[in-house]
Every structure is written in C-alpha cells, then in structure tokens.
Amino acid sequence: MSSRFVCAMLLLCAAPVTAQDFTFVCSDFEFQVDSTIDQLEFTLPVHIWGPGAPMVDSQGFSMGLAHDPTALNVLAVDFALPFTPDFFQEFLHVGGWSAGTIYAFLGGVFVTFPDPVAVLDVTYETVPGYLTGATQVLELTFDELGVPPVENVVVVAGAGSFAALDHGSVTFGPGSFQRGDLNADTVVDISDAVAALSVLFIPETDPPICMKSADVNDDSNFDVSDAVFLLSSLFVFGAPDIPEPTICGVDPTDDVLPCAEGCL
Ligand SMILES: [Ca+2]
Ligand SMILES: [Ca+2]
Ligand SMILES: [Ca+2]
C-alpha cells in the first residue's frame, strides 16, 4: 500500500468534528418495469449539499450507502465532479459501497455545494429474479461500511465534518401513466393528437417521455393509428373509448414500450 494511500485513508478516518454543514442526499428514484423485464442495470447520482453561510470549502469527502443484497448488486462507483482528484477510492461491498476522495493532496482545489451537486454516480443491477413486475421499494441508507468503517464526512480544513444524511429509495414497478396524454399535461385533448402527428411526421421531434401514453389504442405499438384513434375518440360520436388507464394508472396489458416518466 503506498504511503500516499495510507495518508489519504488516515485523513478519511480521522475523528470527525460535529458541525453539520453538509448533507449527503440520495433521492427517491422510480423505475417503471413490467413483467417482461427480469433484470435492470441503472445509474444513480449521489449529491452533497452545503448551503450554509459563509460557504465552507471542502477538500474531499467519504461516504457509504447500504442496500438490500438480496435485491441489488453494486457494479461501480464513479467520481462525478468535473475534475480528476488526486485520490479516489471506491469499495464495493455485499450490501453497499463506500468511497473516499481527496481533491488535491497539496491543497488548492476546493468545492462548495450551494446547491445539491452530484459527486458520485453509482451503478447497480438488480439481482436475477428480484423483479417480478409488482411494485417493490428498496431503501438506500447512508451508513458506515467497511473495516475500519468509512465515516460519512466532508473534509474541511483537514478534518472530517459529519454530514447530515438524507437517505433515498428505489421503487420498481409497473408505473403509472395516462393513456393519450402524450404531452404530459394531465389532460387528453387535441393538443395530444398534434403531439402524436408531430412525432410521427416532423423529423427530429422528440418522442413522448412515456411511449405507453402514445399507444392510444393499446396495441403495443405507436403509429398513425394512435393519432387517428385519439382524434376519433375526441370528435367522432360513437367511436371507441380510449383504453384504460385514462386517468393515472397502470397498463392492464403488458408491452415493451418505454415509459421514462409517468404520472403520479
Ligand atoms: Ca395532454
Ligand atoms: Ca398503438
Ligand atoms: Ca399495453
């Protein structure tokens, strides 16, 4: 083990001071999966937030985040700040990860966090067989992992400052969406038909954020028939109703149409 590594680890494991100027933030994430998806790989950002005044310069940090090992494996923890630190080390555990960084051994590189800043990108995969298509919620909890345990601290003036911990979660499930609401404004109207026709016929138009919403006739595909179905349901007396869910709900028929963001 290099002397540089030992010095860095001693600094990360130094007795922390108590000021809570910083918060480690893991948000609540949601992934829409149906019964056709049996394994998922995804990357989540972890943020640090330190909005106090005066703004405190940080020189590094260490943190750890635990998860249920029967549900997730951690594949990678990557440094996400826009520079290459002098020291960065990640540790992948069964049931969690920890990581530590010193931006610059000789000083001169400081980071403040007036807004939540993504400091790490963490890649996970679900354990085979975990996903069932039903809604499942996993807690992601900041913890002191490893031997010796890695503290959740931000390095300030050469000492560790305990961070406040804002834990997160990951929800897997079929997700909810509103069929026909292509433009995601919670109302199904003629503007959604315009959105459908634009996606179909105007080059470089961004697709709907939830393709399930665009599959108006629920035939597991998005094409011009969906725009026609939508217009008919709105303006032709006696035309078939739009299939469920016409208010925020789950798809009663499995398909592989992506839905990056549904409704609440
Ligand atoms: Ca709409
Ligand atoms: Ca369709
Ligand atoms: Ca469907």
pLDDT tens readout for residues 180-220: 999 999 999 999 999 999 999 999 999 998 999 999 999 99
Among the ranges given (3-7, 75-79, 148-152), the one the predictor scored with the smallest mean pLDDT = 3-7
Report which bound ligand comes closest to the CA of 226: 2
Say whether pLDDT at 239 is over 70: yes
- 100-117 pLDDT tens trace: 999 999 989 999 999 999
- Tell me, in angstroms, the distance from the centre of ligand 1 to residue 180's CA: 7
- Tell me, in angstroms, the distance from the centre of ligand 3 to residue 230's CA: 15
Residues forming a β-bridge with 25: 47, 166
Residues around ion ligand 2, judged by CB within 5 A, are 215, 217, 219, 221, 226
- 117-173 pLDDT tens trace: 999 999 999 999 999 877 889 999 999 999 899 999 999 988 999 999 999 999 888
- Tell me, in angstroms, the distance from the centre of ligand 2 to residue 41's CA: 28
Q: What is the model's pLDDT at position 10?
A: 42
The CA distances from residue 36 to 121, 133, 148, 255, 258, in Å, are: 27, 8, 42, 8, 12
Domain ranges across the chain? 3-173, 175-264
Q: What is the model's pLDDT at position 17?
A: 44
- Tell me, in angstroms, the distance from the centre of ligand 3 to residue 217's CA: 9
- Tell me, in angstroms, the distance from the centre of ligand 1 to residue 254's CA: 23
- Tell me, in angstroms, the distance from the centre of ligand 2 to residue 222's CA: 4
Looking at per-residue pLDDT, the higher value among 54 and 130 belongs to 130
- Tell me, in angstroms, the distance from the centre of ligand 1 to residue 205's CA: 16
- Tell me, in angstroms, the distance from the centre of ligand 3 to residue 245's CA: 10
- 6-38 pLDDT tens trace: 344 444 444 444 455 899 999 998 887 766 778
Looking at per-residue pLDDT, the higher value among 54 and 197 belongs to 197
Q: What is the model's pLDDT at position 111?
A: 95
Report which bound ligand comes closest to the CA of 191: 1
Q: What is the model's pLDDT at position 11?
A: 46
Burial class (CB within 10 angstroms; exposed 0-12, middle 13-18, buried 19+) of 83: exposed
- Tell me, in angstroms, the distance from the centre of ligand 2 to residue 211's CA: 10
Report domain 3-173's class: mainly beta
Does 175-264 carry CATH code 1.10.10.10? no
- Tell me, in angstroms, the distance from the centre of ligand 2 to residue 224's CA: 8
- Tell me, in angstroms, the distance from the centre of ligand 1 to residue 213's CA: 10
- Tell me, in angstroms, the distance from the centre of ligand 1 to residue 204's CA: 20
Q: How far apart are CA 177 and CA 184, in angstroms?
A: 9
Residues around ion ligand 1, judged by CB within 5 A, are 181, 183, 185, 187, 192
Report which bound ligand comes closest to the CA of 193: 1
**At 8, phi and psi to the nearest 5?**
-65, -40
Say whether pLDDT at 247 is over 70: yes
Q: How far apart are CA 14 and CA 159, in angstroms?
A: 7
Q: What is the model's pLDDT at position 264?
A: 67
Cα-Cα-Cα-Cα dihedral sign, residues 185, 190, 196, 197: negative
Q: What is the model's pLDDT at position 119?
A: 98
Say whether pLDDT at 175 is over 90: no
